[in-house]
Amino acid sequence: MGLLDGLRSVLGIRAESDASRDANPEDLFGMSTAYLTMEADLGYDSADAGALCFAGVDSSSFRDAVENVEAILEAGSEDTGTDFRVTEDDHGYHWVVLEDSDPEDLITSLHFAADTFIEEGYGSRLLAAVFGYRNDSGPAYWIYSFRRGAYYPFAPRAGRERDSGTEFKLESVLDGELEIEPDKEYWYPLWPSTSGRHPWE
């Protein structure tokens, strides 16, 4: 199974068949308290960036939906100052990438984007929301699977290695504060491209 097939299976096709409920962007607000715990209890600062991963559809109505997402974020940026862009990665997946030094504004903007996809009838195309963090030991991410309705930690290291010790520590500290995916088969790594720093690059 290739990387693209693995992502599609874990966050898409297989997760859809095993989904416990429809995508609910309200779950993203769980990060509003979690980022404080990450900072106070674990020494992680926000990476001032997050992203929404979605699978595209070759249709004019879907392109209109993406344009509406961009319009909502553009309007909201006047209040939040959140910068955004829509990109496509090396694996063919699409991302709404947001940057903001205020974690609350970042979370709110991600929620707006996800909610707009759902209102436009494309909630089934949402795969994951990714929240970035950093400390001296390296980056860490909380990944929310829309199909599973749960979060899981991802701590990538050089050479496409995972710091499982860090991931288990994040799980133990945030368990109860976030709805964490109990089946670790769904803790799928979202590796960046060769030249990228984040999963959406």
| pLDDT, tens digit (0-9, with 9 covering 90-100), for 30-61 | 999 999 999 999 999 999 999 999 988 888 99
Digit-coded pLDDT (tens) for 72-111: 899 988 888 999 999 988 778 899 999 999 999 999 999 9
Task: Kindly indicate the confidence band of residue 2, based on its pLDDT and cuts at 50, 70 and 90.
Answer: very low
Domain-embedded: residue 201: no
Domain-embedded: residue 198: no
Higher pLDDT, 96 or 15: 96
> Which residues span the domain enclosing 67?
3-186
Distances (CA, A) of 184 to 82, 139, 200: 33, 20, 22
pLDDT at position 138: 93
For residue 62, which of 130, 123, 144, 146 has the smallest C-alpha distance? 123
HEC secondary structure over 46-57: EEEEEEEEECCC
Structure tokens at 192: 């960046």
Start-end of H helices in 81-163: 103-119
**Number of domains within the chain:** 1
pLDDT at position 15: 45
Domain-embedded: residue 199: no
Task: Kindly indicate the confidence band of residue 11, based on its pLDDT and cuts at 50, 70 and 90.
Answer: low
Domain-embedded: residue 60: yes
pLDDT at position 19: 45
Domain-embedded: residue 24: yes
State the CATH number of the domain containing residue 39.
3.30.70.1130
Domain-embedded: residue 200: no
Task: Kindly indicate the confidence band of residue 6, based on its pLDDT and cuts at 50, 70 and 90.
Answer: very low
State percent of the chain over pLDDT 70. 89
What are the φ/ψ torsions at residue 19 (nearest 5 degrees)?
A: -65, 140
Domain-embedded: residue 196: no
For residue 198, which of 128, 146, 125 has the smallest C-alpha distance? 128
**pTM above the 0.85 mark?**
yes
Bridge-based pairing of strands 94-99 and 156-157 is unpaired
Distances (CA, A) of 173 to 24, 39, 107: 24, 12, 20
pLDDT at position 97: 96
pLDDT at position 7: 53
Domain-embedded: residue 163: yes
Distances (CA, A) of 65 to 69, 116, 125: 6, 8, 11
